[in-house]
Structure 1
């Protein structure tokens, strides 16, 4: 069985938004007990991560990405090249096992959407659950 639903998230530039609760609700609606859940950020400057939603850690992550892909550097692409590069480095999807109707996340793991674009965006996230 397969079940899909789209989450719409209003998110600021270079910000994170925790969607763990929304994804858990979709798992419940899917009525799938065992399988896999894929979370996919639609668009070229977004990403999906699974990690701790802790403000200081997220700031460390932002600073690390700025060192790797500086927003001040001159690129061949238009003004938001760093946004695209960050999305490519981090990735726009994650797959998480589902067991007994629950996401198999660890205690400190949250599902977050990141908007790497230079402007605030409304991000679409496609959640697909496959299983029995």
Structure 2
């Protein structure tokens, strides 16, 4: 493995309800711990029912995202994928709308996010309360 490539995983407890978890601090801590300066940070959730989003949080946008997903992907028994709780099939469609990854520029050791942007784990799967997220830096 190249010394310019570093990777780690973090465990994220999301609980038994739909949630949006801010990972920005975890990402920044990882970059700091490896002395990252310039490059790319990839954030990847290796689960079939979760995604990574880069949006504003704290002003209601995170709840708006969950509401929009509920409108687009209702938690009903209409889904062909039918195991787990009612409507779990929608959770398997989520990554088509909220990708399971994001690649972000790192400049001067920090993620080059916009003023109000945060890196978020989006998890609508109430059947799986624990997630793993892989952070990989290429510099």
What TM-score, normalized to structure 2? 0.88
The equivalent of 1:36 in structure 2 is 40
CA contact (8 A) 1:83 1:118 kept: no
Residues 1:112 and 2:115 aligned together: no
Residues 1:88 and 2:88 aligned together: no
Residues 1-132 of structure 1: matches in 2 within 5 Å?
A: 1-12=4-15, 13-54=17-58, 56-79=60-83, 80-131=88-139
In structure 1, C-alpha distance between the alignment counterparts of 2:138 and 2:55, rounded to whole Å: 22
CA apart distance, 1:122: 0.9
CA contact (8 A) 1:6 1:125 kept: yes
**What runs of 5+ residues in structure 2 fail to find an aligned partner?**
none
Structure 1 residue matching 2:80: 3-state secondary structure: coil
CA contact (8 A) 2:54 2:120 kept: yes
CA contact (8 A) 1:20 1:110 kept: yes
C-alpha RMSD over aligned residues? 1.4
CA contact (8 A) 2:40 2:137 kept: yes
**What runs of 5+ residues in structure 1 fail to find an aligned partner?**
none
Moved over 6 A (4+): none
CA apart distance, 1:73: 4.6
What TM-score, normalized to structure 1? 0.92
